[in-house]
Amino acid sequence: MGCLLSIDWDYFISAENHEVVSSIENKRTINDLWYKKYFQYKSYGEDFEKSFVLSEETDNFWDKIKQFFRWNQDVGIYVSDSHALSYKIAEKFGVDEVYLFDAHSDLGYGGLASLEFEVNCANWLGKLLQNQIINKAKIIYSPFTKEAPEFFKDMIKVFDVEFINFEDLRKDIKTNVIHICRSGAWSPPWFDGKFIEFVKGLGLPYKVYQCPTRKWNPNNVTYAEKLQYLMA
């Protein structure tokens, strides 16, 4: 047995919207709303892009990870927009543990009742535990998270979940598969180029699933497009 190493791009992003909890991922949330907010901020004389900062940790993250996790050169690596794909990946590869780097726990929001819903980006980790596909999970929160472990006390009572720091990781963690997700509803499109650089920085082949690079050019939209975005 081994683990799924699951990394959310929003782990590296200082943002005002980390407290937003949603299970909806579609064109509106991952693209149109970014333009809407940009134009709304602009109408107030503010620069929306300055609300987000990308951590310099992206530059040395893989070097740090390799100090604790080990994998073969043919390890499966998947890239997607939605983090919900981690559920299917864990199921497919038969892992017994998940290590999650994220600004959100993805255990489900609203207590155990949140696990009665179908698998989505907000509850996939809780569903893996509930359905006994994995035995345990370790969550390493982003320095920018707006969450706290006590928010999930009901989950912690029932499942083997630990919230730990990067420095608390043990050495030589067997890794069967790696998933890197963009979480476009929380990560701005103007960082997509950096996201691709980050993925390539691992230096291994990977498969992309439903994660097209978003075009971000708010200074080159028509009046009709702007109205459409503002109505999103």
- Predicted model pTM: 0.93
- Give the per-residue pLDDT at 149: 95
Pick the range with the lowest mean pLDDT from 63-72, 78-87, 179-188, 214-223: 214-223
- Give the per-residue pLDDT at 17: 53
> Which tens digit of pLDDT belongs to each residue from 114-123?
999 999 999 9
> Which tens digit of pLDDT belongs to each residue from 4-38?
999 999 999 997 654 454 546 678 889 999 999 99
- Measured CA to CA in angstroms, residue 26 lies from 32, 95, 132, 198 at distances of 9, 28, 29, 23
- Give the per-residue pLDDT at 49: 93
> Which tens digit of pLDDT belongs to each residue from 192-232?
999 999 999 999 999 999 999 999 999 988 878 787 878 76
